[in-house]
Amino acid sequence: MATFELSHNDIKCIMIGASAGGLNAIKFILQQLDYISIPIVIIQHLSARQLDLIPDYFSEIDKINLLFVSDKMKIENNVYFAPPNFHLLVENENLFALNTDEKVNYSRPSIDVFMESAADVFEENLLAIVLTGANCDGTKGSVYVKKNKGHVIVQDPETAEFGYMPKSVIMHGKFDKILNLDEISKIIKLIQDGDKNE
């Protein structure tokens, strides 16, 4: 697969959307990183009872800050998880917001909701990544991101624990590249490390 040509200067926010099987995929990606210079926002479908499992599950990742978003939290250079039972939005380049509007794709947080909000704010400076999952969340969002000149990467469904969600984006959405987790990790790492090489 050809290299996806994005630089540190091109991207101001990286978002990762995942559902079933997502925690394993996200952990793999985060384990490759030792430096966060651009915020990474993770929209993972989680139930409230799974919330307490997150710190232990990601306990080996100690080089970067992993935070659950609270309302009006400032966007800094960390890895952020959307909290269960809330939609996560971007108010501006510096501020998150939460709401409890109706579920979208049976989900709250919804990947589509965040993608649309982030695309409005970051436009061509957004990189959206859709990983493993068992529903179609992220498909409409991918179209909106591309409409706003952002960038979309989809996990290769053949390599996903649950291929339905990335396959839905490929069949009905918009995207730039279909990549496996290793390729996705390398792109994120190159973008994060970009300012070290400038």
Catalogue the active-site residues.
19, 45, 137
CA angle at 158 for the pair 135 and 191, rounded to the nearest 5°: 85
Residues 6+ apart with CB under 8 A from 14: 38, 39, 40, 41, 127, 129, 188, 191
Distance CA 130, CA 49 (A): 24
The rounded distance, in Å, linking the Cα atoms of 179 and 154 is: 6
**Structure letter (DSSP) for residue 122:** H
Q: What is the rounded CA–CA span in Å between residue 152 and residue 1?
A: 15
